[in-house]
Structure 1
Amino acid sequence: MSLFGREVAGRRHIDGLDVLRTLAIVGVTLFHMFPERLPGGYLGVSLFFVLTGFLLAYTSKRSWLEHRFRVKAYYWKRIKRIYPSLFIVLLTTIGIYQFVLPKAVAAIRPEFLSVILGYNNWWQIAQNADYFTRLTNASPFTHLWFMGIEMQYYLVWPLLFALYAFLDILVGRRAGLFVLAVFALGSAVVMPLLYEPDMDVTRLYYGTDTRVYALLFGAVLGLWWVDHPRARLGKYRMLLGYLAWPVLVGISIAAYFIFDGQSAYVY
């Protein structure tokens, strides 16, 4: 098995992403189970954002090169992937609450709508719902805030990809990557600019504008990877990749134990 990728049933599969998904899932899960022991496990969400941006850009570029990218098909695929499972989770949870805590169901309804329509992160900001102080007394849908950011990103991605494709054709591949990288850096700067000492970090933690940089950086990597497959990396870059992999994964795991979500240096 290759760290970088292989062909599976005619499709390109990047094995290293499976490890990163596992790392993200373990971090988030243990964070909610043992927040005091793993205060930085929430960083797994940021890793999910990078992976989402990477895979979305990677598949879009490959489909475009094969003349298969269609906006209508893109949106329909997103709907089919998100809503069936989401409705099952939401309706099952509400059904259980109806029997266990029937009075809480009425309070859940506005949040339910925000989840379905993809603006739950902004809804929680409006509620001043601090993520780190609500871990033990939270709505069953609190942790779906990240889906709001992803759904908003899914909505605008065809426009971003169209801009990239336009620059790719008109100027060159590096131009499109450069513009997306500038967007990513611009978003990354928003968070430290908005941060103030002793502030409630809810707005920074949930905000689409302060979080989209991870998705955009992932997109830049995904688009770059299509144009630089493993076969064209060369043995020295391959060796560097194998050496960097355990180091970077180790740093990520260490961050799970160190980066408290309310510490100033995080923002």
Structure 2
Amino acid sequence: MTHRKTGPTARRLPYMPGLDGLRGIAVLAVIAYHSALPWSDGGFLGVEVFFVLSGYLITALLMLDIQVEGRIRFRHFWLRRARRLLPALWLLLLILPAAARVLAPETLPRLREDTLAALAYVLNWVYIFREVPYFEHFGRPPLLQHLWSLAIEEQFYLIWPLLVAFAASRGRGQSQNRLLALTLGLAFLSVGWRWLLYQPYEDTARVYYGTDTRAAGLLFGAALALLWPPRRNRSRLAASARFAAEVIGWSGFFVLLGLFARCQGYLPALYRGGFVVTDVATLAVLLAASRTDTSLGR
């Protein structure tokens, strides 16, 4: 876990073009859902795909840092995340109030509160305490509602490196196995907690927005990065293994398409297994799309 490598190529993840395609499909699903297009009832699950993908990539980056540097460079990691996310967020939060003042002045009081919560990356919890529904709105939804998922990701970016570093420092020989056990344990704990909290046909804000109830997707992605890190994708698979990767990847892809088309946010099945099915399907696509010798990865 602390073995150091030198050279420029050891310090970054390999480019995986298939993941760009997966991101694009997830974005289109979310846009289609919010545009109320036909066959997009489950497009909101594109956010869950992003959670799995983020957990995979962030954990791969953290493990690469441990491999190359012997430790996680927290300052470097957090500054890199800030440079990627903050400029666009600040621009949005500067422009939106001016536009709202002209186009929707009645939203300004709540918008000020939501802006502070968005800057602190706790908007999802604010919506829980306010009981803001995601799937049903009477009147205009909050203008910054789409930032709830960014809040969850930022909370993950803050806490997860600390947990990874702690697990990596405890008994060097078995640290990765311990981290994998911790990751899967937390993922299934999140799934079980979501199951317990969900009450059929009641408001789903607590279960839908909660970091604790939505962490499973991030953690399942992290587990894949530990089991099958990107560096293993550099070697070509045997024909039989590549065929298996194709079957697994395309099976997951078509499951995702079916979920995007037909899943609905008020169904009990979504909270009693639907999110997990989405996670597993995304992992299947990731397994193939992270390689360059598969059709999903090209």
Work out which of the residue numbers 160, 163, 168 in structure 1 matches 2:166: 163
Q: Aligned pair 1:209/2:218, yes or no?
A: no
For the residues of structure 1 that align with 2:102 and 2:170, how far apart are their CA atoms? 56
Show CA shifts across 1:144-189 (max 9, x none): 1101111111110111211332357142532321221111111111
For 2:135, which of 126, 132, 135 is the aligned residue?
Answer: 132
For residues 237 and 172 of structure 2, the distance between their equivalents in structure 1, rounded to whole angstroms, comes to 24
Structure-1 residue corresponding to 2:41: 39
Name the counterpart of 1:119: 122
Per-residue deviation, 1:199: 1.6
Residues 169, 175 of structure 2: 8 Å contact kept: no
**1:164–1:177 contact (8 Å) kept in structure 2:** no
Q: Please report how far the alpha carbon of residue 57 of structure 1 lies from its aligned counterpart in structure 2 after TM superposition.
A: 0.5
Is 1:25 equivalent to 2:27 in the alignment? Answer: yes
Of the structure 1 ranges 101-110 and 207-216, higher mean CA displacement relative to structure 2 is found in 101-110
Match of 2:266 among 239, 262, 266: 262
Contact conserved, 2:39 with 2:262, CA < 8 A, in 1?
Answer: no
What is the rounded CA distance, in whole Å, between the counterparts of 1:144 and 1:35 in structure 2?
Answer: 22
Amino acid at match of 2:28: V
- Per-residue deviation, residues 76-106 of structure 1 (Å, max 9, x unmatched): 1122112111010111111111222334322
Distance 1:207 1:19 in 2: 28
Match of 1:236 in 2: 240
Q: 1:218 to 1:228 in 2, by over 3 A?
A: same
1:171-212 alpha-carbon deviations (Å, 9 max, x no partner): 253232122111111111111111122221111000110000
Cα distance in 1 for residues equivalent to 2:258 and 2:175: 39
Q: Could you tell me which runs of 5 or more consecutive residues in structure 1 were left unpaired when the two chains were aligned.
A: 1-6
Q: Using the alignment, how far apart are the partners of 1:34 and 1:235 within structure 2?
A: 42
Deviation at 1:135, TM superposition (A): 8.8
Number of aligned residues: 260
Report the Cα distance in structure 2 between the residues aligned to 1:73 and 1:11, rounded to whole angstroms.
Answer: 15
3-state SS of 1:261 partner: coil
The 1:196–1:11 alpha-carbon spacing in structure 2 relative to 1, beyond 3 Å, is closer
Instruction: Please tell me whether the aligned partners of residues 32 and 135 of structure 1 are also in contact (alpha carbons under 8 angstroms).
Output: no
Question: Does the CA-based 8 Å contact 1:62-1:226 persist in structure 2?
Answer: no
Letter in 2 for 1:249: F
Take 1:236 and 1:177, find their aligned partners in 2: how far apart are those partners? 27
Say whether residues 1:16 and 2:18 are aligned partners.
yes
Distance 1:109-1:246 versus aligned 2 partners, 3 A rule: same
* Root mean square deviation, CA, Å: 2.2
Task: State whether residues 168 and 174 of structure 1, in contact with CA within 8 Å, keep that contact through their aligned partners in structure 2.
Answer: no
Deviation at 1:39, TM superposition (A): 1.2
Q: Give the TM-score normalised by structure 1.
A: 0.90
Partner in structure 2 of residue 4 of structure 1: none
Letter in 1 for 2:125: W
- Give the secondary structure class of the aligned counterpart of 2:43: coil
CA, structure 1 residues 35+189, in 2 after alignment: closer, same or farther (shift >3 Å)?
Answer: farther
